[in-house]
Structure 1
Amino acid sequence: MTQEARQIPIALPSIGEDEIVAVREALRSGWITQGPRVAEFESAFAVRHQVNHAFAVTSCTTATHLALVAAGVGPGDEVLVPAFTWVSTANVVIHCGAVPIFVDVDPATNNIMPSDIAHRITDRTKAIIPVHLFGLCADIEAIKAVLPDHVVVIEDAACAAGASYHGRPAGSLGDIGAFSFHPRKSITTGEGGMVTTNNSEYAARIDSLRNHGASISEEQRHNGPRPYILPEFEVVGFNYRMTDLQGAVGAIQIKKLDEFISERNNWAQHYMAQLADVDWLVTPKVPDNYSHAWQSFVTFVNPDLSPTTRNEMMDKLQKTGVATRPGTHAVHMLGAYRDRFDIKPEDYPGALSCNNNTMAIPLHNKMIEEDYAYVIKAIKSI
């Protein structure tokens, strides 16, 4: 492929022959719903993220929903949510009958701003969902310092498998964590998610709730002495189970996580060095004692210095074959929330700035050196 014809997607999953073999074996086993491959994946994920419990589910959205339900969030409760995040972080609060209370973010990190939390807390605040956006952990210590003891901390670690904060892995920092294995993430099962916790009471609720509220799993029942006896159902649950086909892929992918992150980190450092002289483009900064998971490489287009708007820039890069995306969106500016809660864009200035000026550029484990050189050249040519 010539340089002129090069097409570089924003992300590609890195799937190898090992994953294909694992899926084939799962298919041949005859057990393809939640079973031994899911259990293997859960165990390895828990070890890597230093938690006592990990439960595989269908997505990070359902993982976060389970976390809220397990924490007892319901009608009349309020949940603090960063204003700049993927919409599902707020959606699951609505699905619980609770109210999302938006908190502004710091454009320097894209994460929830601890200094904006205190005055958002009321006597109805039940939980907070700090998001480790793009793979950088939120400042959990600063967040916890302003929270009443009863507020449950639910980490939205969708982008943060393998990330760490002061030596502790994402998913172990709060009361409950939620991860994503969507194809844009560093490891993938197609769709899929994981709930993590060190709290045995939350663990028991989550395990039951993901399986319709059953007292035991399907695998336990079928492998038990009386598989024909249906389990007890004492709570109203959901069907959020991961399949063993996905578990088979996940069990291989989790073994590659640190290798994937290391490669992404090397190229992220390369981007930062090579783009340092582009005065209108701010590259990510990683604070001391943080380990970034680099789910994506999200820059900030300085509107005061940029030769064009962020959207016009993305259009120019698309025409050269370089895919880009906004970092994500400001949820308070989306119609479902703007109209429902009568919110103005400028009510959360940090999130508004991130919404209008963040730009993700390609960073994934299928890229080669020539791809990075091409992206850098394309950006510098603007």
Structure 2
Amino acid sequence: MEKRSIAISLPSTGEEEWNAVREPFMTGWLTQGPKVAAFEKAFAERHQVKHALATTSCTTGLHLILAAMGIGPGDEVLVPAFTWVATANVVLYCGATPVFVDVDPITNNIDPRDVARRITSKTKASIIVHLFGLCADMDALRAVLPAGLPIIEDAACGAGASYKGIPVGGLGDAAAFSFHPRKSITTGEGGMVTTQDAELAATMDKLRNHGAEISEEQRHKGPRPYLLPEFNLLGFNYRMTDLQGAVGLVQLGKLDRFIAERQQWAEYYRDRLADVAWLRMPIFPENGNHAWQAFVVYVDLDKAPMPRNDIMERLQAQGIATRPGTHAVHMLGYYSERFNIKPEDYPGALNCNDNTMAIPLHNRMSAEDYEYVVDALRSIA
């Protein structure tokens, strides 16, 4: 088969998104305004939550949630050890301490058995990551977490996923989503926070706009637009632009189709690679819907013909992009040095760090692309 060039991920955008940004340009309303408000409303309805607030990224969304909850110095927040570094970074932004929890190498998600061992009197919240679009085991986690301890969903990969009929975004006290181009839907950069809690939503709404008591849109459309609002909180500038909101509305309308396509090709990978002894497929949940932000396999080093990185290099030479699933945050230089953590302190995360491999799965791949990836993997012996 002729050599192809297959990206690990590509955003699926086109004429509709291009046309969507015309209105903000024509009206002159470029910063947070009516398009963002419409995107928030539609996102809240799709994920069955009462409140959705757009932000500049999932990272700022997570920070916004922690700040609104009053997390600060002296507090501890539980964080899975295998996740993108931002999940831990936001805890430090608040002056609090991230307490790493090991993960289950079968699911890549936080291990409820290890959660119980990490809770102390200083634990004020837990961040639960739905990694790669697979929901964490919320029932098992609630069984070990103290009653009333806030649960924050890092749903960066989770738009459209669900657990036992409940969409991601409403499984905890608050959630943050990402619209980075590697996610199922994108606004370039951008994020969204969701919650059922009206008071928490009101606080986050103020904090994302410098602490202003009313938004710019409310002020401009109000009876006295010439007066500046009151500022009673120390806030941030975490507002999404209306250009992004316009794109987000179009993308959100395609979310379910995107996920259905990814589900179809995830099943194709599973079936065609089932007899490759050195590859373990990701979990296909029976109690919910996977968002398939990424298709992440596990390379069994006891059976593999070569180390994972060599496999990735070989695939790269054939034009197939791959990535490690993500990284074990406790092994990154800053965290290992600051908190004096050894790689083996979190064996599940270490295992995932060294052996997971994301292969291409996105909505701009053709059937021939998928066949090419399968054939390349099957040829490695």
**TM-score under structure 2 normalisation?**
0.99
Separation (CA, whole Å) in 2 of partners of 1:4 and 1:343: 47
Q: Percent identity?
A: 68
Give 1:150 deviation, angstroms: 3.2
Whether 1:42 and 2:24 are equivalent positions in the alignment is no
Whether 1:262 and 2:221 are equivalent positions in the alignment is no
For 2:251, the aligned partner's letter is Q
Which of 318, 321, 324 is 2:322 aligned to? 324
Separation (CA, whole Å) in 1 of partners of 2:148 and 2:70: 12
The equivalent of 2:200 in structure 1 is: 202
Separation (CA, whole Å) in 2 of partners of 1:73 and 1:4: 55
Whether 1:244 and 2:242 are equivalent positions in the alignment is yes
Q: After alignment, is 19-28 or 319-328 more displaced?
A: 19-28
Which of 120, 123, 126 is 1:122 aligned to? 120
Whether 1:355 and 2:353 are equivalent positions in the alignment is yes
The equivalent of 1:84 in structure 2 is: 82
- Is the CA contact (8 Å cut-off) linking 1:10 and 1:323 kept in structure 2? yes
Moved segments of 4+, more than 3 Å: none
Report the secondary structure of 1:251's partner residue: helix
Separation (CA, whole Å) in 1 of partners of 2:65 and 2:301: 38
Whether 1:333 and 2:323 are equivalent positions in the alignment is no
The equivalent of 2:130 in structure 1 is: 132
The equivalent of 2:67 in structure 1 is: 69
Q: Please report the RMSD computed on the Cα atoms of aligned residues, expressed in angstroms.
A: 0.6
The equivalent of 1:150 in structure 2 is: 148
The equivalent of 1:216 in structure 2 is: 214
Give 1:29 deviation, angstroms: 1.2
Report the secondary structure of 2:30's partner residue: coil
- Is the CA contact (8 Å cut-off) linking 1:126 and 1:150 kept in structure 2? no
For 2:143, the aligned partner's letter is A
The equivalent of 1:291 in structure 2 is: 289
Separation (CA, whole Å) in 2 of partners of 1:298 and 1:59: 23
Superposed CA offset, 1:127-178 (max 9, x none): 0001000000111111111111231100000000000000000010000000
Whether 1:231 and 2:229 are equivalent positions in the alignment is yes
Separation (CA, whole Å) in 2 of partners of 1:109 and 1:165: 14
Report the secondary structure of 1:11's partner residue: coil
The equivalent of 2:92 in structure 1 is: 94
Give 1:287 deviation, angstroms: 2.8
Report the secondary structure of 1:339's partner residue: helix
Separation (CA, whole Å) in 1 of partners of 2:14 and 2:275: 37
The equivalent of 2:312 in structure 1 is: 314
For 1:183, the aligned partner's letter is P
For 2:47, the aligned partner's letter is H
Separation (CA, whole Å) in 1 of partners of 2:199 and 2:24: 31
Separation (CA, whole Å) in 1 of partners of 2:41 and 2:347: 42
For 2:173, the aligned partner's letter is D
Superposed CA offset, 1:308-331 (max 9, x none): 001010000000000000000000
The equivalent of 1:32 in structure 2 is: 30
Report the secondary structure of 1:141's partner residue: helix
Separation (CA, whole Å) in 2 of partners of 1:151 and 1:37: 35
- Is the CA contact (8 Å cut-off) linking 1:38 and 1:243 kept in structure 2? yes
Separation (CA, whole Å) in 1 of partners of 2:82 and 2:194: 23
Give 1:282 deviation, angstroms: 0.4
Separation (CA, whole Å) in 2 of partners of 1:287 and 1:293: 11
Give 1:285 deviation, angstroms: 1.5
Separation (CA, whole Å) in 2 of partners of 1:257 and 1:180: 13
The equivalent of 1:280 in structure 2 is: 278
Q: After alignment, is 130-139 or 282-291 more displaced?
A: 282-291
For 1:101, the aligned partner's letter is V
For 2:278, the aligned partner's letter is W
**TM-score under structure 1 normalisation?**
0.99
Superposed CA offset, 1:219-269 (max 9, x none): 000111100110000000000000000000001100100000000000000
Give 1:5 deviation, angstroms: 3.0
Separation (CA, whole Å) in 2 of partners of 1:148 and 1:215: 34
Whether 1:104 and 2:102 are equivalent positions in the alignment is yes
Separation (CA, whole Å) in 1 of partners of 2:35 and 2:183: 20
> How many residue pairs were aligned?
380
Report the secondary structure of 2:2's partner residue: helix
Give 1:70 deviation, angstroms: 1.0
Superposed CA offset, 1:72-129 (max 9, x none): 1000000000000000000000010000000000011000000101110000000000
Separation (CA, whole Å) in 2 of partners of 1:345 and 1:274: 34
Separation (CA, whole Å) in 1 of partners of 2:286 and 2:365: 28
Separation (CA, whole Å) in 1 of partners of 2:109 and 2:252: 25
Separation (CA, whole Å) in 2 of partners of 1:114 and 1:280: 27
Which of 15, 19, 31 is 1:21 aligned to? 19
Report the secondary structure of 1:328's partner residue: coil
Separation (CA, whole Å) in 2 of partners of 1:5 and 1:305: 27
Separation (CA, whole Å) in 1 of partners of 2:3 and 2:23: 39
For 1:176, the aligned partner's letter is A
Superposed CA offset, 1:274-328 (max 9, x none): 0001000001122321210000000000011000001010000000000000000
- What stretches of structure 2 of length at least 5 have no aligned partner? none
Separation (CA, whole Å) in 2 of partners of 1:115 and 1:288: 21
Report the secondary structure of 2:296's partner residue: strand
- What stretches of structure 1 of length at least 5 have no aligned partner? none
